[in-house]
Amino acid sequence: MNIEIEKKEGNVAELKIQLPAQDGVNAYNTAVMRLGMEVNVPGFRKGKVPRNILEQRIGKERIKIEALERMLPSVLSKAVSENKLDVIAQPQIKSYKFEIGQDLELLASVELRPEVTMGDYKGQTVEVEKYELPKDAFDRALDNVIQQYSTLEQVVDRNTKSDDIIVFDFDGYVDGEKIPHGDAKNYTMDLANSSFIPGFAEQLVDRPVDTDFDINVTFPEEYHEESLRGKEAVFKCKIHEIKTRVLPELNDELAQKAGPFKTVEELKTNIQEYLDKQVENENRKRSEKALFELFVEKAQVDLSDSMILREKNSLLSEYKHKLAEQGFSWENAVEAQGIEELNKNVEDDAKSRIKNSLVIGKIAELEDLKISQEDFTKKIEMMQHLYNLDSKAILSNLQSNPGFISELNQQILNEKVLNFLVENNTVKFVKAKK
């Protein structure tokens, strides 16, 4: 096999490949045998159709295409491998000359990974706003533990308060017409943490049980149901039960319920350690983000239109899938943001994601950062602990989803590069702006 390589603009290389005539003959003969087993020809059993009859039946070009489709993947793979081409997309056949008895000639194009020119990414100093917990963080964390072990008691001698739990019926109307799915019986609502439209829960405060009453609300302009946006509505309500939270006493007994603690002091120590770790992790993330963004900004890379388009299409697919999971459609997003703004945002994200990936890869190459079996094993163990999975579940996922392995490897490489940047640069923490 003879190969001539010519570099073109836009990170593209053209490959002129010449294969010996015998390779073409062998591929053609194999294609004849394969198609002969598939094509129905009256008067002949499958696999017994003479070559000349098959050529008349389906045409020589169809056989040549079958031959090329079978042989090209290995030919192109070998051409890329032998010439150490760093390709980022499948090679494309631009033309071919395939005559039986003559050398087979192919012209293919491949897109190469863009060259990344890094600025100084070691020995630099970057200022990072230091993350600090709110002054009441400990008290709120301790209160959360207490709230977890609260109980609900029914109230019979007063109206509702803003922190009550209620059980009630409601039935909504707009312009005198019943709202589809706008009603419920014996619905439980936490008045202090309602996800209903603004003004709904507030009007359920200071209400008695077993009394019919109406509340008036206005649907937000950005409400997901278009027909209800900005509409005034009336909800007919009736409260059946009022419940209030009763908080337990903070004592050793509660600490023992909350975890492997014997005393309240041990519980408090654990909470403080958790908060300290939270601060440490957040400041680590801020350091990694600041350093990486600095070096990405300094890096120079020429992104081709085709790379951007591929990444943009991938992002659009992800975006539409996430919208669908949340009960929205692409049309909803277009209506809310406008197609031009959406396209610009997606394209900007695509460019950013490509450049980030290329910079990660370049630093890993320059510093010889590689993924070992130990790295992969540790990542799996971390996933087991984080998501409470067993090894069989993870292995099953790996076997059924090959892309998952690639994704894990990329995560590991990202972590290695970020660790390298933190260890080889200086982070100066400064007081956060208000």
In a domain, 56, yes or no: yes
95 and 158 both lie in a single domain: no
Strand partners, 112: 87
Question: 31 and 93: one domain?
Answer: yes
| In-domain check, residue 77 | yes
Q: Domain containing 87 — which CATH number?
A: 3.30.70.1050
CA atoms within 13 A on the CB side of 227: 7
The overall average pLDDT reported for the chain is 91
The CATH number of the domain where 157 resides is what?
3.10.50.40
Are residues 239 and 155 part of one domain? Answer: yes
Tens of pLDDT, residues 51-83: 888 888 889 999 999 999 999 989 999 988 888
Task: Tell me: do 96 and 45 sit in the same domain.
Answer: yes
The reported pLDDT for the residue numbered 9 is 82
Domain ends where: 227, 246, 265?
246
User: Do the domain assignments include residue 403?
Assistant: no
Question: CA 225, CA 326: separation in Å to the nearest integer?
Answer: 13
Residues 97 and 178 in one domain: no
Q: Quick one: pLDDT at residue 239?
A: 97
Please check whether residues 36 and 104 belong to one and the same domain.
Answer: yes
Helix (H) or strand (E) holding 154: strand 151-155
- Per-residue pLDDT, averaged over 339-361, amounts to 92
Assigned domain for 20 exists: yes
Count Cβ atoms within 10 A of the Cβ of residue 274 and give its class: 0-12 exposed, 13-18 middle, 19 or more buried. exposed
Reported confidence tier of residue 368, pLDDT bands at 50, 70, 90:
very high
Q: Residue 27 in contact with residue 67, Cβ under 8 Å? A: yes
**Given 184, 219, 246, which residue is the final one in a domain?**
246
Q: What percent of the chain has pLDDT over 70?
A: 99
Q: Report in angstroms the alpha-carbon separations of 9 from 28, 106, 300, 387.
A: 35, 20, 16, 46
Calculate mean pLDDT across residues 226-241: 94
Label residue 163 by pLDDT band (50, 70, 90). very high
User: Does 61 map to a domain?
Assistant: yes
Q: Are 146 and 247 in contact (CB under 8 A)?
A: yes
Rounded to whole angstroms, how far apart are CA atoms 349 and 345? 6
Assess if residue 339 is contained within a domain: no
The verdict on 11 and 105 lying in the same domain is yes
Domain of 78 in residue numbering reads as 2-113
**Does one domain contain both 27 and 95?**
yes
Q: Is the pLDDT of residue 333 over 90?
A: no
Which of the four pLDDT bands, split at 50, 70 and 90, describes residue 202?
very high
Residue 224 resides in a domain: yes
Q: Which residue has the higher pLDDT, 54 or 271?
A: 271
Q: How many domains does the chain have?
A: 2
Listed range (25-34, 120-129, 169-178) with the worst mean pLDDT = 25-34
Give residue-wise pLDDT tens across range 110-130. Answer: 999 899 999 999 999 999 999
Question: Considering 113, 139, 167, which residue would you say is the last residue of a domain?
Answer: 113
Q: Could you tell me if residue 380 is inside a domain?
A: no
